[in-house]
């Protein structure tokens, strides 16, 4: 009791230390806050140190902004992925470009609020156009999305070049919207980002139940009287928010990556939408922060590509190593399974060898076993060594004969029992011919669970003989162990 | 706002380009026409296979191929970039397949993941190379190409001899369109069948997967050929919009192909004039015109159907 | 007695899909009604039209004497199993709780009572032990039971079910029928789209036989005759088909205006 209390106190003081330290770091930097681009140290390590000590106010803004947008995008991305709207994200993120340009034209400066409003409107207009195209033409969804992407983006590009040719306008601010520059995030941008993040989080939390049911089964959602269309557009509005919030740091071209990739990684790791939203947000934050770091440490490289590459690394890890859906984990599982099947087949061959000599001896010659399995002696020795490692057989010292351990005997009996029960089931219940059931049973014998076997036995009235007249090992034989031969061996020994 | 849209005058917008700098005008229009035609022709098959956005994906993901080809060979020679782009295009298609076949990620998300990652890789490589000072690839060029520069490039020369008096890139585009037209004419029925009914095609013993990869290879080739004139993002417009335009006007693939060519010509000429008027990028303006043409036939079609219906109703009432 | 479901001259037209043509129907409450017809006859479309999921071109639908919107809380729906993505990251319990959403306000969380009802419904279809499974890890029969449990959780008076017996094992089919019969005992009305003529007779009190138009509606013993079945399954009427296609084109234009 007192121990845990003490521990809690110590962790609390640890936190306080951290916060205090952070505050101490803040004090001097307020005075020497410099634009990141003005920094002159070019050493990678120096820049990395600078990054992690959070010395510059502008750097803190950039990092905070990146993390906010990463979280926002990851959260919305989860819905995009489960609704199969990933390409809608791509389309809308290109479609906001004319809105950005018009927002810029409002004051001829990079006013975050004007750009935000312009881009959101353009995004919604794009989403509406997709729906309209779908409803009034026979074009498929992909064509409609492609058209919106193309048409809006080209208008944006034209406006963009027109602005560049305007006398007296600085094009530097707008340029960053293409590939992103987290360093360009100012204090107002971060404030706006924070507002957007809070708004998106609130909307998602409040309407989570509705978004879940409309995403899973829109027909059912309509049938219980939910405003499915309105919810769809509200989701598109939130999506536009997320896209616009990410524009500056990630860039128009790559926003869709920040939407989809973290969420797709989360999709591989969890079976719950709520968890997926949280994980997506967490991955988004991680990717954005590390992207910002690499961009800063590598002397002001564009941020967007590095954020996307970090996200892609997270996705690749999930794709390969996810506990249930990972590619490598599944490959490994299949390999283990194949090895198990090989082991079980060898055990079965040993059982057959014993059966053939009516269980008179307990020992099987390795040579005979090798002939039976059509393998060379070396291969057989290797296979037996593996069985020995699993504690299923004991090989004699001169490696010429082999016998079951109790565990091995039990497993062998189980496999033979599964095989013969399945053969019997197929001939009796599915009316297969007796000579057509062996191959099927070969694969099924390794898959039957204990419960299924019980059911099978019950359905077959605890039959003792398989369709070929061989004895099916019963529970009693399995439990009695290798020392005692199965009953009725006089009949069971025949081929 | 008023400075943004220059004053419109027939004189400067429509006549001057053809009076002064006729050569430049002709070559810009020719480039636009050839690019739109090439993309449009292959775009039909993307649309039929519901792969419109795979075109988008490939046009983005050739970028790392181009940069890698440059980094490895040290030249910007045509064969190197073609090879790089082709490899990148096929890698994209293979990666998309890998992801959606070996996990529960749906194809749309797989496309999005693959091409954005590859594009990010390309941009990252580019900016690292640029920081080292070894190349200067313009970001603007990636985004919307440089049609005007393409049009003033010197003609292709073989050992001091000039075969045709046209800028090198335009000649290459012309060759590309020639190859495409020949390929489509030659394999018309195979491409049609594998696109329309892959099941039947497979039953007839055709290797649909090979045709798929072949088409994707062709797409990569088209996209890399048009890269220098229109960049990495606008090709998707030229892949999708002309076929959509043609689909509104005809139900037969061969006639749609003809409409694509007509549309390409109209978009190129109108786009050039728009670019002259608004003083903006020619490639972007051509896509705007191309989209506007589609909107015209789309809304026009709706209106005509509505009118016809009204006439029928009135006739029925009387 | 008030009809549970009343259709008057209902015409449904999709862009290129099968259509329903002038359906008149009044289903009394407390009956278990099968909807039977050949492929593409519009069985599912009929249900979807009632629910407002298919574009109604003419006629009207009344549920317990009111429009569907007003009475949607009194209707439970079991869609076809293929209509959803079974990879979707939700658990069995989440799906059954969705049945309670109709009784909750916007942005309101499900209460403890809702959870309790959902548990009871899961128990009724013997799926309680699997409540925390992801839905993709279930067999076809189990997935169908989850959908049934969700409809039960809606606590409705009229249930519309779209092919609940497709791709399920015999045990599940028996379990579903038992639950449906129990619902009928409680005075609920059930409309079930069914494709298997062999057992349609034993399952349902009444049958609706459709093939684009209503062929027959009545007590099973009366309408389940060779003549009626011949009329239902004996091919589509070509002329009706053509006219219906023409009708289908018109509402598509009307929907532009909406």
In this predicted complex, what is the ipTM? 0.88
Chain B residues with CB-CB distance to A315 below 8 A: 113, 117
Mean pLDDT of chain A: 80
Looking at residue B16, what is its pLDDT? 76
Helix axes A112-136, B282-317, angle to 10 degrees: 40
Q: Does residue B284 fall inside a structural domain?
A: no
CB-based contact, B143 to chain A, within 8 Å: yes
Looking at residue A122, what is its pLDDT? 92
A158: region left, alpha or beta (phi > 0 left; psi from -120 to 50 alpha): alpha
Q: What letter would DSSP give residue A180?
A: -
CA distance C13 to chain B (A): 17
CB contact under 8 A, C250 and B306: no
CB-based contact, B116 to chain A, within 8 Å: yes
Instruction: Give C121-179 pLDDT, tens digit per residue.
Output: 999 998 988 999 899 888 888 999 999 999 999 999 999 999 898 888 888 898 899 99
The dihedral over CA atoms of A16, A20, A23, A29, expressed in degrees to the nearest 10, equals: -140
Chain A residues with CB-CB distance to C82 below 8 A: none
Instruction: Give B43-54 pLDDT, tens digit per residue.
Output: 999 988 888 888
Contact between residue B116 and residue A91 where contact means Cβ atoms under 8 Å apart: no
In a 13 Å sphere around the CA of A480, the CA atoms on its Cβ side amount to 10
The neighbour count for residue C176, using CB atoms within 10 Å, is 22
Which CATH number is associated with domain A43-321? 1.10.3470.10
Chains in contact with chain B (at least 3 beta-carbon pairs closer than 8 A)? A, C
With a cut of 60, say whether residue A1 has pLDDT above it. no
Q: Give the C-side interface with B, CB within 8 Å.
A: 87, 136, 250, 253, 256
Which of A195-232 are b and which e, b meaning 16 or more Cβ less than 10 Å from the residue's Cβ?
ebbeebbebbeebbbbbbbbbbbbbbbbbbbbebeebb
Q: Using pLDDT thresholds of 50, 70 and 90, give the confidence band for residue B289.
A: very high
Q: Does residue B227 fall inside a structural domain?
A: yes
Q: Structural domain of residue B185, as residue ranges? A: 24-241
CB contact under 8 A, A257 and B236: no
Q: Smallest Cβ distance to B309: which of C87, C136, C253? A: C253
Alpha carbon distance, N-terminus to C-terminus of chain C: 37
Segment A133-146 shows an average pLDDT of: 86
CB contact under 8 A, C253 and B306: yes
Closest-approach residue (CA) in chain B for C89: B104
Counting every residue written for chain A, the total comes to 495
What's the longest Cα–Cα distance across chain B?
Answer: 80
CB-based contact, A309 to chain B, within 8 Å: yes
Q: Using pLDDT thresholds of 50, 70 and 90, give the confidence band for residue A268.
A: very high
Chain A residues with CB-CB distance to C101 below 8 A: 209-210, 213, 221, 224, 226
Q: Which domains, ranges and CATH numbers included, belong to chain C? A: 3-257 (3.40.50.300)
Locate A169 and state its tokens: 């306008």
CB contact under 8 A, A162 and B239: no
Chains in contact with chain C (at least 3 beta-carbon pairs closer than 8 A)? A, B
Locate C121 and state its tokens: 């419904």
CB contact under 8 A, A271 and C85: no
The enclosing H or E element of A365 equals strand A363-365
With a cut of 90, say whether residue B133 has pLDDT above it. no
Segment A222-237 shows an average pLDDT of: 90
Q: Does residue B237 fall inside a structural domain?
A: yes
Give dist(CA A81, CA A451) in Å, integer. 38
For A493, list phi and psi in degrees, rounded to 5. Answer: -80, -10
Q: Smallest Cβ distance to B305: which of C87, C136, C253? A: C253
Q: Smallest Cβ distance to A327: which of B103, B128, B139? A: B103
Q: Which residues contact A459 (CB under 8 A, 6 or more apart)?
A: A425, A429
Helix axes A57-82, A255-269, angle to 10 degrees: 60
Restricting to B residues 43-82, those with a Cβ less than 8 Å away from any Cβ of A are 47, 50-53, 55-56, 60
The enclosing H or E element of A393 equals strand A393-395
Mean pLDDT of chain C: 85
Instruction: Give which of A73, A129, A155, A158 to mutate to test B binding, by max B Cβ within 10 Å.
Output: A158
CB contact under 8 A, C256 and B306: yes
Q: Does residue B50 fall inside a structural domain?
A: yes
CA distance A143 to chain C (A): 19
Instruction: Give which of B103, B309, B312, B316 to mutate to test C binding, by max C Cβ within 10 Å.
Output: B309
DSSP three-state, residue A449: coil
With a cut of 60, say whether residue A41 has pLDDT above it. no
Looking at residue A494, what is its pLDDT? 36
Strands (E), chain C: 3-12, 20-28, 32-36, 56-63, 75-78, 158-161, 189-193, 206-211, 213-219
Chain C residues with CB-CB distance to B306 below 8 A: 253, 256
Chains in contact with chain A (at least 3 beta-carbon pairs closer than 8 A)? B, C
Chain C residues with CB-CB distance to A210 below 8 A: 101, 106-107
Chain A residues with CB-CB distance to B55 below 8 A: 146
Contact between residue C168 and residue C84 where contact means Cβ atoms under 8 Å apart: no
Total of domains in chain B = 1
CA distance C84 to chain B (A): 14
CA distance B104 to chain C (A): 7
Chain A residues with CB-CB distance to B58 below 8 A: none
CB-based contact, C109 to chain A, within 8 Å: yes
Q: Smallest Cβ distance to B104: which of C87, C253, C256? A: C87
Residue C32's DSSP bridge partners are C190
CB-based contact, B309 to chain C, within 8 Å: yes
With a cut of 90, say whether residue C115 has pLDDT above it. yes
Looking at residue A279, what is its pLDDT? 95
Looking at residue A230, what is its pLDDT? 92
Instruction: Give which of C46, C90, C102, C115 to mutate to test A binding, by max A Cβ within 10 Å.
Output: C90
CB contact under 8 A, B309 and C256: no
Instruction: Give which of A217, A323, A451, A459 to mutate to test C binding, by max C Cβ within 10 Å.
Output: A217
Please report the number of interchain residue pairs, chain A to chain B, with beta-carbon separation below 8 angstroms: 207
Which CATH number is associated with domain A326-495? 1.10.10.10
Looking at residue C235, what is its pLDDT? 61
CB contact under 8 A, A222 and C53: yes
Restricting to B residues 244-263, those with a Cβ less than 8 Å away from any Cβ of A are 244, 247-248
Q: Does residue B314 fall inside a structural domain?
A: no
Instruction: Give C23-62 pLDDT, tens digit per residue.
Output: 899 999 899 999 998 887 888 889 999 998 888 888 889 9
The top-scoring range by mean pLDDT among A437-441, B138-142, C12-16 is A437-441
CB contact under 8 A, B117 and A94: no
Mean pLDDT of chain B: 84
Q: Which residues contact B263 (CB under 8 A, 6 or more apart)?
A: B36, B40, B242, B245, B246, B290, B293
> Which CATH number belongs to the domain containing residue B174 in this structure?
1.10.3470.10
Q: Which residues contact A262 (CB under 8 A, 6 or more apart)?
A: A70, A73, A74, A77, A280, A281, A283, A284, A287, A311, A314, A315
With a cut of 70, say whether residue B221 has pLDDT above it. yes
Looking at residue A493, what is its pLDDT? 37
Q: Which residues contact B3 (CB under 8 A, 6 or more apart)?
A: A166, A167
Specify the higher pLDDT residue, B299 or B23: B299
Chain A residues with CB-CB distance to B294 below 8 A: 147, 151
With a cut of 50, say whether residue A352 has pLDDT above it. yes
Q: Using pLDDT thresholds of 50, 70 and 90, give the confidence band for residue A29.
A: very low
CB contact under 8 A, B104 and C253: no
Domain boundaries in chain A? 43-321, 326-495
CA distance A74 to chain B (A): 13
DSSP string, A316-351: HHHHHH-TTT-HHHHHHHHHHHHHHHHHHHHHHHHH
CB-based contact, A159 to chain B, within 8 Å: yes
CB contact under 8 A, B237 and A149: yes
Among residues A384, A348, A389, A344, which one has the least CA distance to residue A367?
Answer: A384
The enclosing H or E element of A403 equals strand A401-404
DSSP string, chain B: -TTTSPPP-HIIIIIHHHHSSHHHHHHHHHHHHHHHHHHHHHHHHHHHTT-HHHHHHHHHHHHHHHHHHHHHH----HHHHHHHHHHHHHHHHHHHHHHHHHSS--HHHHHHHHHHHHHHHHHHHHHHHHHHTS----HHHHHH--HHHHHTSPBP-BTTB-SSSSBHHHHHHHHHHHHHHHHHHHTHHHHHHHHH-HHHHHHTT--HHHHHHHHHHHHHHHHHHHHHHHTTTTHHHHHHHHHHHHHHH-SSHHHHHHHHHHHHHHHHHHHHHHHHHHT--HHHHHHHHHHHHHHHHHHHHHHHHHHHHHHHHHHHH-
Contact between residue A167 and residue B76 where contact means Cβ atoms under 8 Å apart: no
Q: CA angle at residue A27 from A22 to A29, to 5 degrees?
A: 95
Q: Which residues contact C169 (CB under 8 A, 6 or more apart)?
A: C139, C140, C141
With a cut of 50, say whether residue A389 has pLDDT above it. yes
As separate numbers, helices (DSSP H) first and strands (DSSP E) second, chain C gives 9, 9
């Amino acid at each position: 009791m007192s121990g845990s209390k003490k521990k809690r106190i110590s962790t609390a003081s640890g936190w306080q230390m951290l916060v205090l330290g952070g505050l101490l770091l803040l004090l001097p930097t307020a005075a020497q806050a410099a634009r990141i681009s003005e920094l002159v140290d070019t050493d990678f390590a120096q820049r990395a140190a600078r990054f992690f000590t959070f010395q510059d106010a502008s750097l803190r803004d950039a990092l905070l902004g990146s993390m906010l947008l990463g979280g926002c995008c990851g959260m919305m991305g989860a819905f995009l992925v489960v609704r199969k709207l990933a390409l809608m994200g791509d389309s809308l993120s290109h479609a906001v470009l004319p809105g950005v340009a018009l927002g810029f034209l409002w004051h001829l400066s990079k006013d975050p609020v004007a750009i935000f409003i312009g881009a959101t409107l353009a995004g919604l207009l794009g989403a509406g156009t997709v729906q309209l195209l779908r409803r009034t033409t026979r074009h498929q969804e992909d064509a409609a999305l492609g058209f919106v992407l193309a048409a809006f983006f080209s208008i944006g590009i034209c406006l963009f070049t027109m602005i560049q040719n305007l006398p007296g306008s600085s094009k530097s601010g707008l340029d960053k919207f293409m590939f992103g520059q987290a360093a360009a995030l100012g204090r107002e941008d971060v404030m706006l980002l924070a507002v957007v993040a809070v708004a998106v989080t609130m909307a998602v939390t409040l309407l989570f139940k509705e978004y879940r049911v409309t995403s899973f089964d829109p027909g059912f959602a309509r049938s219980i009287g939910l405003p499915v269309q309105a919810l769809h557009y509200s989701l598109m509005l939130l999506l536009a928010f997320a896209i616009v919030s990410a524009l500056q740091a990630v860039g128009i071209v790559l926003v869709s990556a920040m939407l989809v990739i973290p969420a797709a990684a989360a999709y591989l790791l969890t079976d719950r939408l709520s968890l997926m939203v949280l994980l997506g947000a967490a991955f988004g934050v991680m990717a954005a922060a590390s992207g910002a770091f690499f961009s800063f440490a590598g002397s002001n490289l564009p941020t967007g590509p590095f954020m996307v590459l970090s996200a892609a690394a997270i996705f690749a890890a999930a794709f390969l190593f996810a506990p249930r859906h990972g590619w490598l984990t599944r490959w490994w599982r299949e390999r283990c399974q194949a090895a198990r099947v090989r082991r079980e087949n060898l055990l079965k061959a040993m059982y057959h060898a014993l059966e053939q000599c009516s269980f008179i001896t307990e020992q099987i010659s390795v040579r005979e076993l090798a002939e039976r399995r059509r393998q060379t002696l070396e291969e057989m020795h290797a296979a037996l060594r593996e069985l020995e490692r699993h504690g299923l057989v004991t090989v004699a010292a001169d490696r010429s004969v082999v016998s079951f351990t109790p565990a091995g005997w039990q497993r062998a009996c189980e496999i033979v029992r599964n095989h013969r029960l399945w053969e019997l089931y197929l001939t009796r219940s599915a009316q297969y011919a007796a000579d057509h059931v062996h191959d099927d049973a070969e694969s099924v014998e390794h898959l039957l669970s204990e419960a299924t076997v019980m059911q099978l036995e019950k359905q077959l009235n605890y039959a003792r003989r398989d369709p070929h007249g061989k004895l099916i090992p019963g529970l009693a034989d399995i439990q009695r162990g290798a020392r005692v031969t199965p009953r009725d061996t006089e009949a069971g020994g025949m081929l | 706002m008023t400075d943004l849209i220059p004053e419109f005058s027939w004189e400067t917008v429509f006549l001057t380009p053809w009076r002064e700098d006729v050569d430049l005008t002709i070559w810009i229009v020719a480039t636009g026409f050839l690019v739109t035609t090439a993309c449009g022709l292959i775009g039909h098959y993307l649309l039929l296979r519901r792969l419109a956005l795979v075109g988008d994906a490939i046009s983005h993901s050739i970028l790392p191929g181009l940069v890698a080809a440059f980094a490895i060979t040290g030249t910007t020679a045509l064969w190197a970039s073609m090879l790089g782009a082709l490899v990148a295009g096929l890698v994209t298609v293979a990666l998309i397949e890998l992801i959606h076949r070996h996990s529960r990620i749906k194809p749309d998300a797989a496309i999005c993941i693959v091409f954005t990652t590859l594009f990010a890789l390309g941009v990252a490589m580019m900016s690292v190379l640029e920081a080292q000072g070894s190349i200067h690839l313009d970001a603007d060029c990636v985004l919307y190409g440089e049609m005007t520069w393409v049009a003033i490039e010197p003609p292709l020369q073989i050992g001091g001899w000039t075969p045709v008096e046209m800028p090198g890139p335009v000649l290459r585009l012309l060759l590309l369109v020639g190859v495409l037209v020949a390929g489509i004419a030659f394999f018309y029925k195979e491409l049609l069948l594998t696109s329309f009914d892959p099941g039947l095609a497979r039953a007839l013993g055709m290797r649909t997967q090979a045709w798929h990869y072949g088409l994707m290879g062709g797409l990569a080739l088209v996209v890399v050929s048009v890269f220098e004139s229109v960049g990495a993002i606008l090709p998707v417009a030229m892949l999708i919009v002309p076929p959509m335009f043609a689909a509104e006007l005809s139900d037969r693939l061969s006639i749609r192909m003809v409409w694509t060519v007509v549309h390409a010509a109209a978009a190129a000429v109108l786009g050039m004039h728009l670019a002259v008027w608004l003083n903006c990028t020619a490639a972007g303006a051509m896509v705007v015109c191309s989209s506007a043409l589609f909107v015209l036939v789309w809304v026009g079609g709706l209106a005509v159907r509505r009118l016809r219906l009204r006439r029928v109703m009135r006739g029925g009432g009387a | 007695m008030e009809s549970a479901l009343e259709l008057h001259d209902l015409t449904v037209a999709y862009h290129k899909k099968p259509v329903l043509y002038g359906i008149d129907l009044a289903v009394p409450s407390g009956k278990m009604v099968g909807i039977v017809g050949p492929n593409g006859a519009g069985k599912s479309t009929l249900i979807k039209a009632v629910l407002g999921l298919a574009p109604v071109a003419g006629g009207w639908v009344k549920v317990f004497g009111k429009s569907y919107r007003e009475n949607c809380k009194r209707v439970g729906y079991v869609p076809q199993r293929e209509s959803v993505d079974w990879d979707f990251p939700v658990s069995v319990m989440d799906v059954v709780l969705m049945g309670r959403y109709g009784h909750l306000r916007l942005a309101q969380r499900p209460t403890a009572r809702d959870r309790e009802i959902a548990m009871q419904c899961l128990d009724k279809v013997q799926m309680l032990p699997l409540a925390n499974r992801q839905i993709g890890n279930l067999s076809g029969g189990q997935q169908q039971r989850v959908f049934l449990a969700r409809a039960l959780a809606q606590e409705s008076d009229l249930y519309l079910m779209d092919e609940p017996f497709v791709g399920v094992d015999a045990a599940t089919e028996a379990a579903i029928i038992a639950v449906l019969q129990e619902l009928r005992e409680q005075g609920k009305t059930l409309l079930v789209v069914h494709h298997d003529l062999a057992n349609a007779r034993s399952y349902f009190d009444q049958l609706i036989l459709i093939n684009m138009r209503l062929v027959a509606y009545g007590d099973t013993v009366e309408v389940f005759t060779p003549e009626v079945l011949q009329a239902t399954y004996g091919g589509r009427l070509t002329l009706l088909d053509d006219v219906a296609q023409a009708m289908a084109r018109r509402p598509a234009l009307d929907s532009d205006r909406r």
